[in-house]
Structure 1
Amino acid sequence: MPPAIRAAEARDLDQLLVLLRHLNPADPPVPPEAAARAWAALLAHPGVTVFLAEAAGEAIASCTLIQVPNLTRGTRPYAFIENVVTHAAHRRRGHGRAVLAAALSAAWAAGCYKAMLLTGSTQEATFRFYEGAGFRRGEKTGLIARPPG
């Protein structure tokens, strides 16, 4: 049976933090107070939805959808998808694709004219995964700026 996909809620923070360790395992753990503040801000931010796949009460995949108001394209918003992750024990079963499908469906329902994501991966399998979920490479070029220091 496929996992349930839903918008994450305040009660999901602890499970989400465990799941996100599978995205960036080298990151230091976030202090609980800082995580709680960031999570509350994320949940309260207009246009942001964290999608969560769960099975047997466990968070197994997630992604964040950010919808941005826009003055071009007839004022249609655009979307970013970030922090796409599947628990290592649940990969290659369609759960990541399911949360991406939910995010894209929400973006299209909101009238977004495009959805974008970036990946730090250089693996061909990762590109094929995103293409299988509806993304195209080569249409735009992503650039990243980071703060100095």
Structure 2
Amino acid sequence: MPKAMIIRAAIRSDLGAILRLLRDLGDTMPAQGGTVRMSSAAVRSWTRIENDPDRTILVAERRGQIIGTLDLIMVANLTHDAQPWAIVDNVVVDGACRRRGVGRALVEDAVERCVAAGCYKIEVLFHESRPDAHAFYRSMGFENAAEGFRRYL
């Protein structure tokens, strides 16, 4: 883990910094003066997320600044002896901090949480047009094991 960085579960006061990072995924949230406008919908969504025991937003923090985030969802399951499985999504590292182990530290923390919860698998979601993401996840032991479809509503 990079020096002086901690990985922890996000708290409500992290929401603005998380929304700022998520803009890098192509979200269209308007920024005003470098800050992200926190909509009432985002606040409602945050309340649902923080009250869901099977969902954790992780953040990487260095010197009081949020420099990365990851969304971890545990899914209850009836197959595999009722072992849960997990989804990792929305992994984002601040542009100025990329290629310094922040993403790796976030994913490693998520994997440790999944192991502790008894998950039998973890699925990582990212856009197919991101060859850098493909290489990153392969380097962490993930395999391209499935192909899926998505329908936006």
Q: Tell me if both proteins adopt one fold, taking TM over 0.5 as the criterion.
A: yes
How far apart are the structure 1 equivalents of 2:152 and 2:57? 24
Going from structure 1 to structure 2, the CA distance change for 1:11 and 1:123 (only over 3 Å counts) comes to: closer
Quote the residue 1:6 is aligned against. 8
Q: Give the unaligned 5+ runs of structure 1.
A: none
* Shift of residue 31, structure 1, vs aligned partner: 4.6
What one-letter code is carried by the residue in structure 2 that aligns with 1:143? F
RMSD value over aligned CA atoms?
Answer: 1.5
Classify the secondary structure of the residue corresponding to 2:24.
coil
* Shift of residue 100, structure 1, vs aligned partner: 0.7
Give deviations 1:81-107, integer Å, cap 9, x for gaps.
111000111101010111011111101
Give deviations 1:67-90, integer Å, cap 9, x for gaps.
010000000001001110001111
**Equivalent position to 1:20, from 19, 22, 41:** 22
**Equivalent position to 1:141, from 135, 147, 150:** 147
Aligned pairs, how many? 145
Classify the secondary structure of the residue corresponding to 1:62.
strand
Identity of aligned residues (%): 37
Q: Give the unaligned 5+ runs of structure 2.
A: 31-36
How far apart are the structure 1 equivalents of 2:69 and 2:109? 10
Matched, 1:54 2:61: yes
Quote the residue 2:34 is aligned against. none
* Shift of residue 134, structure 1, vs aligned partner: 2.5
